[in-house]
Structure 1
């Protein structure tokens, strides 16, 4: 499954990329599994993704919980919680 991953805010800064195209292994079935798999790629990923409770996700531009399945996704965004004012 080839998917575009988009990173925002401090997640982007720590990883050093704003987006990338990846092909996660078949064992990665949901957003939390994707986060864990990405965290194992390098130090920047490990730092940015160390605490998944500090992350939010969107699949194909719709907010989803971290246990949402990723099958069929074309884009997954990872970002810190958003606040407004």
Structure 2
């Protein structure tokens, strides 16, 4: 399963990249979720580990729709990670 992952704002700065293609194990017994993707990415580098740490407030959108961590991913979807945004 291939997922396009996009990073925004401080997460993009911490990772040093705007996006990447991630291949998830098709043989896994459970369907990948936003949370399992986040955990997998956090294990890949120190920048991602810090930016996507479990305690950090990180929002996720799947195919341009805000989703909870338990949302199940499908092949070819786009997942965007970004910190909460406030405005004034």
- Do these two structures clear the TM 0.5 threshold for a shared fold by scoring above it? yes
**Equivalenced residues, count:** 85
Q: Which runs of 4+ in 1 moved over 6 A?
A: none
Number of the residue aligned with 1:31: 34
Q: Whole-Å Cα distance in 2 between the matches of residues 4 and 52 of structure 1?
A: 24
Q: In 1, are the aligned partners of 2:2 and 2:75 still within 8 Å (CA)?
A: no
Question: Larger Cα Rg: Structure 1 or Structure 2?
Answer: 2
Gaps of 5+ in 1: none
Number of the residue aligned with 2:21: 21
* Structure 1 residues 21-73: Cα deviation after superposition (integer angstroms, max 9, x where no partner): 11122446100110100010011111111135510000000111111111245
Higher helix share: 1
SS at match of 1:54: coil
Q: In 2, are the aligned partners of 1:14 and 1:45 still within 8 Å (CA)?
A: yes
Scaled by the length of structure 1, the TM-score of the pair is 0.88
Number of the residue aligned with 1:8: 8
Scaled by the length of structure 2, the TM-score of the pair is 0.86
Q: Does 1:43 align with 2:46?
A: yes
Gaps of 5+ in 2: none
Q: Whole-Å Cα distance in 1 between the matches of residues 32 and 55 of structure 2?
A: 16
Root mean square deviation, CA, Å = 1.6
